[in-house]
């Protein structure tokens, strides 16, 4: 009987301080966790001892760690600031150490300064659960009137600046503080938010870097590390931009199918692959994640299966996993077909679940409460089971 290849089901774990424990994840039915060494400063080498200790903690719970999310890229690499090759050398050494310990997929992103951006991390839905939301008006008000980014007004028409000024004046002080805090949230796994001074200083580091230049910097980085990863048997998985367009005037270079095409053409090494995130790609109306996967699924080494819902004003929120703008049934059908065709299981995790039930009121990483992700995982597992049985 022909073997059926199925998704490698996992959840993200932020380490010993994560309110969602390894035991919680094991009870969900997952076999794996996706994790990282968040305590190590960005750019520093991940020692074998620290990696192995993390693996051992995970094994005690009966789980495996094969996907790193993420091995962060230092800002000096992205901007090619003087001395950046030292950070690339550190990155290569970390890859060697991870491979030595048996890790397989290395996730990263090339978003300058900020990782993913949301203006509301507890948007109340009609049923009382909470979702992540990107409100374009709140974001623009932050950009123009809270952060006061130099030159920000050039990114908006005079009419928009006037409308946004009126919008900002109507925001309550409490709302302003809430949006301000959310946009400046630190890197995933960190409880320390950015300060405006830090962000403005980092923005200055990119003031002369165009979108084309940032693309060239990414290509240079990958030309350096992809051969190393290939030799070590590792798969590199770049996460798309979130949101998939410019934020704070910064260029974003992994937002569209053309961006994927350009990167895969420039760095054709087999180790150069994708963390295919249906939510990030789906937040842009001119993207079609299902068709993008049809074309690039062979280079998808890790999947984030989540859904977003856009509106006509450019806002988007995290929808239920089987709802939103991406047809998840069509998506899963393509994934299942590819796994059988290529005879491989693809690591997957549900992403950005709603906060609900007993998790309401608890302190968790935004989007990473237990029950909402468990709901998403159950829906995705059921969907995969149904697709397999329809095809058989």
Each residue of 211-235: pLDDT tens digit? 999 999 999 999 999 999 999 999 9
- What does each C-alpha distance from 324 to 23, 81, 282, 319, 348 come to in angstroms? 30, 40, 9, 5, 19
pLDDT for 194: 83
Active site residues: 239, 277, 304, 351-352, 368
Residues recorded for the chain:
392
pLDDT for 187: 61
pLDDT for 192: 66
| Ranges in the chain, pLDDT < 70 | 1-2, 186-192, 391-392
CA-to-CA distance for 160 and 94, rounded, in angstroms?
46
Mean pLDDT, the chain, rounded, equals 95
pLDDT for 8: 97
User: For the whole model, what pTM was predicted?
Assistant: 0.96
CA-to-CA distance for 35 and 12, rounded, in angstroms?
6
pLDDT for 304: 98
Task: Tell me if residue 112 falls in helix, strand or coil.
Answer: coil
pLDDT for 392: 57
Give me the domains of the chain, ranges plus CATH numbers.
Answer: 8-114+210-310+326-391 (3.20.20.150)
Strands 32-35 and 307-310 come out as: unpaired
Q: In terms of C-beta density within 10 A (0-12 exposed, 13-18 middle, 19 or more buried), how is residue 164 classed?
A: buried
pLDDT for 106: 98
234: left (phi over 0), alpha (psi -120 to 50) or beta: beta
Strands (E), 250-310: 272-277, 300-305, 307-310
∠ CA 304-309-312, rounded to 5°: 140
pLDDT for 115: 86
Task: Tell me if residue 21 falls in helix, strand or coil.
Answer: coil
Please provide residue 146's backbone torsions phi and psi, each rounded to the nearest 5 degrees: -105, -55
């Amino acid at each position: 009987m022909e073997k059926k290849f199925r998704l490698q089901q996992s959840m993200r774990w932020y380490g010993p301080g994560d309110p969602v424990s390894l035991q919680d994840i094991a009870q969900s039915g997952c076999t794996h966790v996706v994790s990282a060494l968040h305590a190590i400063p960005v750019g520093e080498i991940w020692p074998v001892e620290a990696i192995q200790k993390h693996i051992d903690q995970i094994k005690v719970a009966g789980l495996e760690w094969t996907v790193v999310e993420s091995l962060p890229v230092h800002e000096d690499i992205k901007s090619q600031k003087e001395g950046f090759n030292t950070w690339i050398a550190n990155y290569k050494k970390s890859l060697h150490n991870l491979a030595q310990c048996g890790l397989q997929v290395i996730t990263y992103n090339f978003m300058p300064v900020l990782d993913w951006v949301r203006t509301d991390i507890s948007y109340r839905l009609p049923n009382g659960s909470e979702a992540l939301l990107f409100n374009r008006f709140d974001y623009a008000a932050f950009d123009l009137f809270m952060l006061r980014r130099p030159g920000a007004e050039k990114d908006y028409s005079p009419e928009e600046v006037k409308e946004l000024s009126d919008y900002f004046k109507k925001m309550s002080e409490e709302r302003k503080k809430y949006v301000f805090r959310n946009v400046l949230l630190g890197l995933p796994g960190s409880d320390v938010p950015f300060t405006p001074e830090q962000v403005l200083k980092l923005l200055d580091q990119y003031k002369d870097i165009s979108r084309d230049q940032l693309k060239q910097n990414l290509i240079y980085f990958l030309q350096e590390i992809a051969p190393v990863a290939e030799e070590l048997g590792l798969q590199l998985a770049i996460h798309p931009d979130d949101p998939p367009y410019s934020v704070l005037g910064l260029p974003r270079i992994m937002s569209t199918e053309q961006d994927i095409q350009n990167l895969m053409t420039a760095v054709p090494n087999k180790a150069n692959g994708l963390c295919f995130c249906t939510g990030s790609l789906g937040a842009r109306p001119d993207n079609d994640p299902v068709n993008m996967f049809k074309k690039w699924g062979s280079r998808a080494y890790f999947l984030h299966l989540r859904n977003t819902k856009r509106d006509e004003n450019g806002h988007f929120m995290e929808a239920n996993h089987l709802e939103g703008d991406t047809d998840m049934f069509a998506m899963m059908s393509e994934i299942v077909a590819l796994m059988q065709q290529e005879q491989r299981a693809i690591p997957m995790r549900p992403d950005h679940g709603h906060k609900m039930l007993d998790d309401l009121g608890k302190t968790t990483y935004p989007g990473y409460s237990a029950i909402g992700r468990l709901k998403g995982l159950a829906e995705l597992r059921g969907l995969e089971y149904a697709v397999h049985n329809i095809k058989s």
